[in-house]
Amino acid sequence: MDGGGVEAAMDGGGVEAATTAAWMARHRGMYERATRHPFTVSIRDGTVDLSAFRRWLGQDYMFVKEFVAFLASVLLKCCRQSDGSDMEIILGGLASLSDELSWFKKEAEKWSVNLAEVSPLKSNTEYCRFLQSFSEPEISYVVAITTFWIIETVYQDSFAFCIEEGNKTPPELLGTCQRWGSPEFKQYCQSLQRIADRCLAEASADAARSAEEAFLRVLELEIGFWDMSSSRS
Ligand SMILES: Cc1ncc(CO)c(N)n1
């Protein structure tokens, strides 16, 4: 791959290193539907429907609670199935979710969203069910870490676009966009990408295929989640 910076990922001896970059190129259309969705683009344009934003906030709080359990299962697979050298970065991600849950509670208060009354909508339920499937020990670490990387990256890319030059993002939404759009969060996603690429370089063809399927499934679920937030599907 000739992508900037991706060659930093180590390969397993002549095997293509930057598998994730190749997938992003191969599935560019899907990736852009997930990261330039009308919902997040409307945040950047300043035309966002605030009731849609409030719906997203309540639904994403529920998602993040499930994401904690997902990440715990990724951490467990890391400890069990790799040499454990990735443990610290995953543990750091898990720890930061504690702060994230507090942020959601504070933000929900600001927007008068009663989190106790939120019940998951269809696309959220579907996404949470996908996350729950990772508790099965049969799902490999490479599939799990790749899934973790792309879940975070969709938010990083989506919200970074909302604070890039030329944005008309409403000031009261900048905090949300900074949370995932910051350079620090981008660096974190890049470190997850390097881990995923290293694992993929060592993985069997079967495992790599499963990881690519999971990558695509995440993009589909993320598009569904934004659709749900904008409308009510
Ligand atoms: C739906 C969804 N995808 C990704 C993230 C990133 O953590 C999130 N909070 N919610």
Q: Ligand 1 centroid vs 79 CA: distance in angstroms?
A: 24
CATH 3.30.70.890 correct for 15-230:
no
Indicate which residue's Cα is closest to atom 6 of ligand 1.
152
What is the reported pLDDT for 10?
42
HSE of 122, CA atoms in CB hemisphere, 13 A: 7
Residue 222 known to be catalytic: yes
Indicate which residue's Cα is closest to atom 3 of ligand 1.
151
What is the reported pLDDT for 83?
73
Pocket of ligand 1 (CB under 6 A): 60, 63-64, 67, 151-152, 154-155, 222, 225
What letter does residue 166 receive in the DSSP assignment?
T
What is the reported pLDDT for 12?
44
Q: How far apart are CA 192 and CA 152, in angstroms?
A: 9
Q: Ligand 1 centroid vs 171 CA: distance in angstroms?
A: 21
CB count within 10 Å of CB 193 equals 25
Q: Ligand 1 centroid vs 64 CA: distance in angstroms?
A: 7
What is the reported pLDDT for 85?
76
Report the atom number in ligand 1 closest to the C-alpha of 59. 1
What is the reported pLDDT for 231?
87
Longest dimension (CA), the chain: 55
The answer to whether 88 is a known ligand-binding residue is: no
Q: Ligand 1 centroid vs 223 CA: distance in angstroms?
A: 11
Dihedral sign computed on CA atoms, order 162, 165, 170, 175:
positive
Indicate which residue's Cα is closest to atom 10 of ligand 1.
60
What's the complex ipTM?
A: 0.98
The answer to whether 152 is a known ligand-binding residue is: yes
Contact between residue 59 and residue 225 where contact means Cβ atoms under 8 Å apart:
yes
**What are the domain boundaries of the chain?**
15-230
The answer to whether 202 is a known ligand-binding residue is: no
**For each of the chain's 233 residues, which pLDDT tens digit applies?**
444 444 444 444 444 559 999 999 999 999 999 999 999 999 999 999 999 999 999 999 999 999 999 999 999 999 987 677 799 999 999 999 999 999 999 999 999 999 999 999 999 999 999 999 999 999 999 999 999 999 999 999 999 999 999 999 999 999 999 999 999 999 999 999 999 999 999 999 999 999 999 999 999 999 999 999 998 54
User: How far lies 227's CA from each of 38, 39, 124, in Å?
Assistant: 8, 7, 11
